[in-house]
Structure 1
Amino acid sequence: MLIRTEAPADILPVDRLLKKTFETDAEANLVMALRENGNRTLSLVACSDEGEVVGHLCLSPVTVDGQDCGWQGLAPLTISPEYQRQGIGLALLDEAKNILAELGYPAVVVLGDPSYYQRAGFTTAADHGLTCRWDVPVEAFMVIELLPDTLANHQGKVEYSAEFAAL
C-alpha cells in the first residue's frame, strides 16, 4: 500500500471512488469544487500494489469564530469497500496529521463516526467549546490538536468553506 499526495492523474479515479462509496454524488462534487476553487490544503490517496486508487482523504481550511487560525476540516475520507477494515483509513489519517503538523497547521475537525475517529485521536469538539453549523449529534463533531495548546486558545463556531453549503 502506498500513500501519497494526489496527482492530476488521480482526479478521475478519485471521482469514481467517491461516487462508488457514497450514496450520492455530493462528496464527489464537493471534492471537485474544492479542487477547482483552490480550497484544498491537502489531498492524499492510498494506492494498491497494482497502482489502483483505493482510498482518498481531503482537508480544507475552516474558520473558528470567524477567524482563520490555520485549522483544517477533514472531508471526505473514503476507502473502496473491498479494502475497508484493513487500516488504510487510519494510515491515511496518520499521514495527513504528520504532514499538517510538520507544515504548522494546528488542528483538524471532522464530522463523522465517533467510534472510528476516536481511534485516530479525535475528541468531541463540544468538550473544547467548539460547535459546527449543522444539526448533528454532539459526539459526531470532533477535533484533534496537532500542535500543543491550540484547543485551549480557541472556542466558537467552526465554519467550513463555501463549497460545503451544497451538501
Structure 2
Amino acid sequence: MLIRTEAPADLLAIDRLLKNTFPTEAEANLVMKLRENGHLTLSLVACTDEGEVIAHVMFSPVTLDGQDYNWQGLAPLVVKEEYRNQGIGSDLVKEGFESLAMFGYPACVVLGDPNYYGRLGFVAAEQHQMRCQWEVPEGAFQVKALVDGEFSEREGTIEYCAEFLEL
C-alpha cells in the first residue's frame, strides 16, 4: 500500500469511492466543492500496489471564533469496504497529521466517532472549552493539537468552511 497526496488522475476514483461508500452524494459533492473553491489544504489517498485508490482523507480550514489559526478540519475519511479494519484509515490520518505539522498547521478537528478518533489522539472539544458550530452529541466533536500548547488560552466555537453548510 502507498499513501500519497492526491493527483489529478485520482479525482474520478475518489469521487467514485465516496459515492459508493456513503448513503448520499453529499460527501462527494463536498469534496468537489472544497477542491473547486480552493479550500482543500491536504488530500491524501491510499493505493494498492496496482495503483487502485482504496482510501481517501481530506483536510480543510476551520476557524475559532472567526480567527484563522491555521487549524484544519478532517472530513471526509473513507476506506473501500473490503479494505476496512486493516488500519488504512488510521495510517492515512497519521500521515496527514505529520504533513500538516510539517507545513505549519498546528491543530486538527473532527466530527465523528469518539472511539475511532480517540485512538488517533483526538479528545472531546469540551475538554478545551471548544464547541462545534452545530448542535452535536457530547464527545462527537473532537480536537487534536499537532503542536504542544496550541490550545493554551484558546476557547470558543469552531467553524468549518461555508461548503459544509450546503450538506
Provide TM-score, normalisation by structure 2: 0.99
Superposed, 1:126-165 pairs within 5 Å as: 126-165=126-165
Q: CA deviation at 1:136?
A: 1.1
What CA distance in whole angstroms lies between the structure 2 residues aligned with 1:130 and 1:19? 32
Q: CA deviation at 1:133?
A: 1.6
Structure 1 SS opposite 2:152: helix
Structure 2 spans left out of the alignment, 5+ residues: none
Residues 2-35 of structure 1: per-residue CA shift (max 9 Å, x gap): 0000000000000000001101000000000000
Structure 1 spans left out of the alignment, 5+ residues: none
Superposed, 1:1-167 pairs within 5 Å as: 1-167=1-167
1:100 partner amino acid: L
Structure 2 SS opposite 1:138: coil
Q: Greater helix share, 1 or 2?
A: 1
RMSD of equivalent CA atoms: 0.6
Q: CA deviation at 1:158?
A: 0.3
Structure 2 SS opposite 1:35: helix
Structure 2 SS opposite 1:30: helix
Q: CA deviation at 1:153?
A: 2.9
May I ask how many residue pairs the two structures share in their alignment? 167
What CA distance in whole angstroms lies between the structure 1 residues aligned with 2:10 and 2:130? 34
What CA distance in whole angstroms lies between the structure 1 residues aligned with 2:37 and 2:14? 17
Structure 2 SS opposite 1:110: strand
What CA distance in whole angstroms lies between the structure 2 residues aligned with 1:31 and 1:153? 32
What CA distance in whole angstroms lies between the structure 1 residues aligned with 2:45 and 2:58? 9
1:4 partner amino acid: R
Runs of 4+ in 1 over 2 A off after TM superposition: none
1:121 partner amino acid: G
Residues 28-80 of structure 1: per-residue CA shift (max 9 Å, x gap): 00000000001000000000111100000000000001100000000000000
Provide TM-score, normalisation by structure 1: 0.99
What CA distance in whole angstroms lies between the structure 2 residues aligned with 1:108 and 1:95? 13
What CA distance in whole angstroms lies between the structure 1 residues aligned with 2:80 and 2:146? 27
Identity of aligned residues (%): 60
